[in-house]
Amino acid sequence: MTKLSVNINKIATLRNSRGGNVPNLLKVASDIESFGAEGITIHPRPDERHIRYQDARDLKKIVTTEYNIEGNPIQSFMNLVLETKPTQVTLVPDAIDAITSNSGWDTIKHQSFLREVISEFQQNGIRTSVFIDTDLKLIEAAAKTGADRIELYTEDFATQYQLGNKSAIVPYIDAAILANELGLGINAGHDLSLENIRFFKENIPNLSEVSIGHALIAESLYLGLENVVSMYINKLK
């Protein structure tokens, strides 16, 4: 069984666009859990353009499922994670001005840095995961960092799948087989969607968790829009 962790960055984007508290991020997180999701993911970025550092602290008090905080382990992020103690921290090598995550770690180049950071999180009882591409040398090096899990960066798969190139799954299968051999748990995320998730899940052995945000929120708009438009029309009769 693969756990679904819902990334709520986009809920915070919507809230921040008006400066108030609509939608209420904490209520949305609790409702998502009550709808059956087994985790809540946030990715606070240094400019706090969606999730704010205070959101991370507030969510810690109410999330009852797996709480996953993603980000680049700069000092302010490290402090936040060590203070909030989520279930899992997912390390992502974001450039400060990146629109969204656009690469996995070079676990060879940054091996000693990652080992140090991972050890600090683990000493504080926080499970660690490393966002990573499918290159087998990088997966091998990830195991040497002491990480508990990897998160396979799925943008390339999602793009190729949409174009009909199902063989794009092959490097992900190879990466997952090696990760399993090395004792690394496997998560996955980025651009997973209702369209591609079943195929991905069925092909990846021992997929522990997927974190999904952008597509899930976009799909929710569409799947709910008809209902809400009719409710307004009814009220205007």
Ligand X SMILES: CC(=O)[C@@H](O)[C@H](O)COP(=O)(O)O
- Number of C-alpha atoms within 13 angstroms, CB side, residue 113? 14
What CA–CA distance (Å, rounded) separates 83 from 79? 6
189 contributes a contact to ligand X by CB under 6 A? yes
Judged by CB under 6 A, the chain residues 111 through 150 that form the site for ligand X are 131
Active-site residue (options: 33, 43, 66, 151): 43
What CA–CA distance (Å, rounded) separates 118 from 130? 9
39 contributes a contact to ligand X by CB under 6 A? no
- Residue 215 interaction partner, one of ligand LD2JLWAY, ligand X, none, beta carbon < 5-8 Å per kind: ligand LD2JLWAY
What CA–CA distance (Å, rounded) separates 163 from 149? 29
Judged by CB under 6 A, the chain residues 91 through 110 that form the site for ligand X are 92, 100-101
CA 194 to chain CA centroid, Å, is: 16
Q: Which of 118, 190, 200, 207 binds ligand LD2JLWAY (CB under 6 A)?
A: 190
Tokens of 124: 């504080």
AA letter at 101: S
Q: Is 70 a catalytic residue?
A: yes
- Number of C-alpha atoms within 13 angstroms, CB side, residue 97? 0
Q: Which of 11, 29, 41, 207 binds ligand LD2JLWAY (CB under 6 A)?
A: 41
What CA–CA distance (Å, rounded) separates 182 from 67? 25
- Residue 212 interaction partner, one of ligand X, ligand LD2JLWAY, none, beta carbon < 5-8 Å per kind: ligand LD2JLWAY
Judged by CB under 6 A, the chain residues 213 through 232 that form the site for ligand X are 213
CB atoms within 10 A of CB 83: 12
Q: Which is nearer to ligand X, 15 or 227 (CB)?
A: 15
Assign 50 to helix, strand or coil: coil
Judged by CB under 6 A, the chain residues 61 through 80 that form the site for ligand LD2JLWAY are 70
Active-site residue (options: 66, 151, 190, 209): 190
CA geometry: angle 26, 220, 18, nearest 5 deg: 50
Establish whether 7 is an annotated binding residue: yes
Q: Which is nearer to ligand LD2JLWAY, 221 or 229 (CB)?
A: 221
Nearest CA to 88 among 130, 145, 128, 147? 128
Annotated active-site positions, please? 43, 70, 190
Which residue ranges make up the site for ligand LD2JLWAY (CB under 6 A)? 7, 41, 70, 151, 189-192, 211-215
Annotated binding site for 3-amino-2-oxopropyl phosphate: 7, 18, 191, 213-214
